[in-house]
């Protein structure tokens, strides 16, 4: 192959570089010598004159048109940075120094034309793990940490809170949701940290904000317009949108009620009031002058009310309403960093811990100069973590519906980190065939999150319970055998309910309550009506029905010495029957007791139901941590079968800080049908090909041990071969569409391989064995720390964040595994405090 020196010389002369702008000079030729040698040594045999694998060749690089050349160099940069090229199968690999020299050269050429696409990619969540893990935690990086100065689009939760705050503090008769406000921001549906600082508004979002601002400004002036006689209180334009804000700035009244144009002073006060309502700050002099002029001009054209509304609307469209500003202030330090301005820092702390802006104490500290040091940040972070009311609320309001309420906790955003990390809320996005789910699985529908909603809510409760204890948090989340299922009452309340039910049952079980219910009720009416938990009707058409339903319900449990769930299945809105997805016995379905008062009722079948534990959390067999929770297993499954590839990739990327290349667009990633083989057998067959195994070797061995759970999260030792030709019968008493299939044994063996931690590598016999080893691994702990960094910083880590990550890891270890200690460490780190 021809030497590449002349090619590289011409390339440098054409496109230049930071250090090679004058390529004709001798020193330019010398600066590209390392690239020449590296390309000759490691690339020419595959991408030269004699061989062009992937239709790529470098010997003609300098002759390519600029656009093609830059595109090819971007591919070179990405492949070299990610370590994909040269292929690992090549014995001759560049040293770390050689790879850096090559990347520096390519980067220099691309930067001249502002053409590097890798830098943008590395800011995306999926590329976070491409920063070398060992380097991050080695201590060899001594750079001063910082975060790039940024304008950060608010999250959907922050936007909702900001929109509501326009109409005054919480608790002033404000509706839970604002009828005319649409949230323009949507986080991606994926496991992993989703709220990053690299999103920006597009045209669609701006159109939504225009509509929002129009509605909000109209609402802001409803009160003044009614007071001024412009409209009647009941003459609202939309009969479905009847809410009228009770509180609004008095400055609006002063303008709307007047018949003559407002004075400059009145306009100034209105502008100040709107800035306080929308941006929670006073306007600067230039802003005040700009909006005062806008108001005067608009009033001259449209009158007082409409002129004022145009100013209100314009402030609502300020980018500051939609973005978080973090640029730093003051003089730069020796490293070129500026500390966050006190107001910037106050909002950064507030939004790191929740969705609300700073509380009064935090704002006061910022205004009074008591928020300027690391100790000031630590004081405020600890205070807000100790505050159990300021951020308190539902973890996921979307789960609340006609059948359930989302779990409420003091700091929902801390739980949301683990929701994002584990990705179990995605269970509500996976559609399942209810008949495959024992006929009890309910997909999310209008007004309900269905069965997966209950499971996700219960996973939230487990996470919150572990966070409240705050000891050995990461390992406990992975290894706990304690779960929360159906739990809706404190133990003391539950015991009182069961005691009263047992009292009624003990008194009436030997009577003729089945054959003479009216007589038994009449003779025992004081006993029945005295029960507070039974809620027995004293008279009316439903008296007999409720009596018999409860008695049959009691007989199902108390005759067999087991404890029922503390809500009878025929209660209004009862849809709680998902215990089988934990591999627990079932609870009675809603329809079991509905026909008991019918004269033709012939009695109940002899069923065995779950012995409900009043004290929770409680231990469940064949479960170990969140990775065996039905919510996680369903979230990482397909519609009709498990997904060991996705599960394995999750472990590789989230727990091992590893990376797996994306599926090439030329690959048809489908597992072939074969009704006589297990999914594992079919997957092994299709992924064992050389072009597949080079990626699947990093996923399959990690995901296949979880085949001991089906795609509904049920523990199994046999896999059903679900196809019509494999039906061997039907479930006893079941409908014809509840078949029993042939089965094959589940192979749960797998391996931890190429983890980056030699002590962790090795074969595993099943998912439990794998989880035990992962839970004890320092690398897994550090991977948790890396993802926590991304969550609270809103960006991927850089090598310069090494000190921040090491200190957070140290804080976790020294505190006995406190997540709170990690949060405090991160929110008082240089990465959080400084911008550059």
The tokens 């849809």 sit on which residue? 575
702, 651 Cβ separation under 8 angstroms? yes
The tokens 């009720």 sit on which residue? 521
CA distance 439 to 639: 15
Angle 466-458-631 (CA atoms, 0-180°, nearest 5)?
105
| pLDDT, position 701 | 95
CA distance 102 to 325: 36
Query: Is 352 in a helix, a strand, or coil?
Result: helix
pLDDT digits (tens, 9 = 90+) for 287-326: 999 999 999 999 999 999 999 999 999 999 999 999 999 9
The encoded tokens of residue 379 equal 């004081």
**Residue among 181, 183, 182, 185 nearest 199 (CA):** 185
64, 112 Cβ separation under 8 angstroms? no
Give the side-chain half-sphere CA count within 13 A for 3: 5
DSSP 8-state code for residue 373: S
Residues 6+ apart with CB under 8 A from 576: 403, 454, 486, 565, 567, 587
CA distance 327 to 333: 14
- How long, in residues, is the chain? 836
Q: 207 pLDDT exceeds 60?
A: yes
Q: Do β-strands 743-745 and 718-720 pair in parallel, antiparallel, or remain unpaired?
A: antiparallel
Beta-bridged to residue 83, according to DSSP, are none
Beta-bridged to residue 326, according to DSSP, are 150
CA distance 593 to 215: 50
Q: In which band, very low, low, confident or very high, does the pLDDT at 832 lie, cut at 50, 70 and 90? A: very high
Cis before 636 (ω within 30):
no
Q: In which band, very low, low, confident or very high, does the pLDDT at 48 lie, cut at 50, 70 and 90? A: low
The tokens 């806008």 sit on which residue? 294
Angle 551-577-642 (CA atoms, 0-180°, nearest 5)?
155
Is pTM beyond 0.85? Reply is yes
Torsion of CA 816, 822, 824, 830, to 10 degrees: 130
| pLDDT, position 170 | 53
**Which segment of 19-33, 373-387, 730-744 scores lowest on mean pLDDT?**
19-33
Q: What is the tally of helices (H) and strands (E) in the chain?
A: 35, 14
pLDDT digits (tens, 9 = 90+) for 742-799: 999 999 999 999 988 889 999 999 999 999 999 999 999 999 999 999 999 999 999 9
CA distance 391 to 353: 8
Q: Please, what sign has the CA dihedral across residues 81, 84, 86, 90?
A: positive
| pLDDT, position 374 | 97
CA distance 706 to 750: 9
Q: Where are the alpha helices (DSSP H) in 139-202?
A: 156-165
pLDDT more than 90, % of the chain: 67
| pLDDT, position 406 | 95
Residues 6+ apart with CB under 8 A from 409: 392, 393, 395, 415, 464
Residues 6+ apart with CB under 8 A from 201: 153, 184, 209, 322
Mean pLDDT (whole number) for 197-217: 91
pLDDT digits (tens, 9 = 90+) for 521-547: 999 988 988 888 887 777 777 788 889
Q: 25 pLDDT exceeds 50?
A: no
DSSP 8-state code for residue 123: T
pLDDT digits (tens, 9 = 90+) for 403-417: 889 999 999 999 999
| pLDDT, position 11 | 32
Q: What is the mean pLDDT of the chain?
A: 88
Residues 6+ apart with CB under 8 A from 692: 667, 686
- Greater confidence (164 vs 661) lies with 164
| pLDDT, position 18 | 34
The tokens 């006609």 sit on which residue? 402
Q: In which band, very low, low, confident or very high, does the pLDDT at 40 lie, cut at 50, 70 and 90? A: low
First to last CA, the chain: 46
Mean pLDDT (whole number) for 277-290: 96
Q: 41 pLDDT exceeds 90?
A: no
């Amino acid at each position: 192959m021809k030497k590449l020196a002349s090619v590289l010389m011409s390339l440098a002369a054409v496109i230049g570089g930071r250090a090679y702008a004058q390529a004709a000079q001798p020193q330019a030729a010398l600066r590209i010598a390392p690239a020449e040698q590296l390309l000759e040594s490691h690339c020419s045999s595959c991408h030269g004159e004699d061989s062009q694998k992937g239709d790529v060749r470098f010997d003609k690089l300098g002759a390519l048109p600029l656009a093609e050349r830059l595109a090819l160099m971007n591919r070179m940069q990405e492949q070299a940075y990610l370590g994909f090229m040269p292929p690992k199968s090549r014995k001759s690999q560049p040293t770390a120094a050689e790879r850096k020299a090559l990347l520096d050269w390519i980067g220099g050429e691309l930067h001249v034309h502002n053409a590097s696409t890798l830098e943008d990619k590395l800011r995306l969540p999926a590329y976070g793990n491409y920063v070398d893990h060992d380097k991050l935690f080695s201590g060899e990086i001594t750079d001063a940490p910082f975060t790039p100065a940024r304008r950060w689009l608010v999250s959907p939760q922050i936007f909702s809170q900001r929109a509501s705050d326009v109409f005054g503090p919480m608790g002033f008769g404000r509706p839970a949701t604002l009828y005319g406000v649409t949230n323009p921001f949507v986080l991606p549906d994926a496991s992993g940290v989703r709220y990053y600082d690299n999103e920006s508004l597009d045209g669609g979002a701006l159109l939504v904000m225009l509509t929002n601002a129009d509605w909000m400004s109209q609402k802001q002036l409803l009160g003044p317009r009614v007071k001024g006689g412009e409209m009647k209180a009941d003459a609202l334009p939309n009969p479905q949108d009847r809410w009228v804000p009770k509180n609004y700035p008095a400055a609006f009244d002063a303008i709307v009620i007047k018949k003559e144009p407002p004075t400059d002073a009145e306009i100034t006060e209105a502008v100040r009031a709107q800035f306080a309502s929308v941006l929670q700050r006073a306007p600067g002099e230039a802003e005040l002058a700009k909006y005062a002029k806008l108001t005067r001009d608009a009033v001259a054209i449209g009158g007082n009310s409409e002129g004022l509304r145009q100013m209100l609307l314009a402030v609502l469209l300020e980018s500051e309403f939609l973005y978080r500003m973090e640029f730093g202030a003051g003089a730069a330090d020796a490293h070129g960093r500026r500390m966050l301005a006190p107001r910037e820092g106050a909002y950064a702390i507030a939004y790191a811990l929740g969705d609300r802006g700073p509380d009064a104490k935090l704002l006061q500290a910022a205004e009074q100069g008591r928020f300027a040091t690391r100790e000031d940040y630590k004081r405020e972070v600890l205070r807000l973590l100790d505050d159990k009311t300021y951020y308190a609320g539902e973890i996921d309001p979307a789960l609340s519906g006609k059948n359930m309420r989302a779990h409420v906790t003091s700091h929902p955003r801390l739980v949301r980190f683990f929701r994002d990390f584990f990705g179990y809320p995605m269970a509500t996005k996976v559609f399942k065939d209810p008949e495959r789910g024992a006929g009890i699985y309910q997909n999310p529908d209008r007004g309900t999150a269905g069965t997966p909603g209950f499971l996700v809510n219960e996973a939230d409760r487990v996470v919150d319970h572990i966070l409240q204890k705050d000891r050995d948090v990461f390992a406990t989340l992975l290894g706990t055998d304690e779960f929360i299922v159906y739990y809706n009452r404190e133990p003391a309340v539950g015991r009182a309910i069961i005691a009263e039910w047992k009292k009624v049952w003990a008194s009436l079980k030997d009577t003729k309550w089945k054959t003479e219910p009216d007589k038994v009720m009449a003779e025992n009416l004081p006993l029945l009506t005295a029960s507070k938990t039974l809620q027995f009707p004293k008279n009316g058409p439903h008296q007999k029905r409720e009596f018999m339903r409860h008695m049959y319900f009691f007989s199902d449990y108390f005759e067999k010495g087991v404890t029922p769930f503390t809500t009878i299945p025929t209660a209004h809105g009862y849809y709680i029957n998902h215990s089988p997805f934990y591999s627990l016995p079932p609870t009675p379905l809603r329809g079991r007791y509905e026909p008991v008062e019918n004269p033709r009722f012939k009695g109940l079948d002899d069923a065995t139901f779950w012995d409900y534990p009043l004290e929770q959390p409680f231990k469940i067999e064949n479960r170990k941590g969140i990775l065996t929770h039905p919510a996680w297993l369903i979230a990482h499954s397909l519609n009709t079968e498990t997904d060991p590839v996705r599960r394995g990739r999750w472990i590789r990327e989230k727990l091992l800080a590893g990376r797996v290349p994306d599926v090439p667009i030329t690959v048809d990633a489908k597992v072939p049908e074969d009704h006589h083989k297990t999914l594992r057998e079919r997957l092994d067959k299709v992924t064992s090909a050389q072009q597949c195994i080079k990626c699947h070797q990093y996923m399959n061995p990690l995901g296949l041990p979880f085949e001991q759970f089906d795609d509904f999260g049920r523990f199994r030792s046999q896999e059903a071969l679900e196809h019509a030709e494999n039906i061997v019968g039907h479930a006893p008493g079941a409908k014809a569409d509840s078949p029993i299939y042939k089965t094959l044994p589940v192979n749960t063996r797998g391996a931890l391989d190429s983890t980056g931690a030699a002590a962790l590598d090795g074969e595993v016999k099943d998912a439990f064995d794998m989880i035990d080893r992962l839970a004890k691994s320092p690398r897994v702990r550090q991977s948790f720390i890396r993802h926590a960094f991304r969550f609270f910083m809103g960006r991927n880590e850089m090598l310069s964040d090494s000190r921040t990550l090491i200190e957070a890891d140290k804080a976790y270890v020294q505190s006995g595994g406190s997540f709170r200690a990690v949060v405090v460490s991160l929110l008082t780190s240089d990465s959080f405090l400084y911008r550059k």
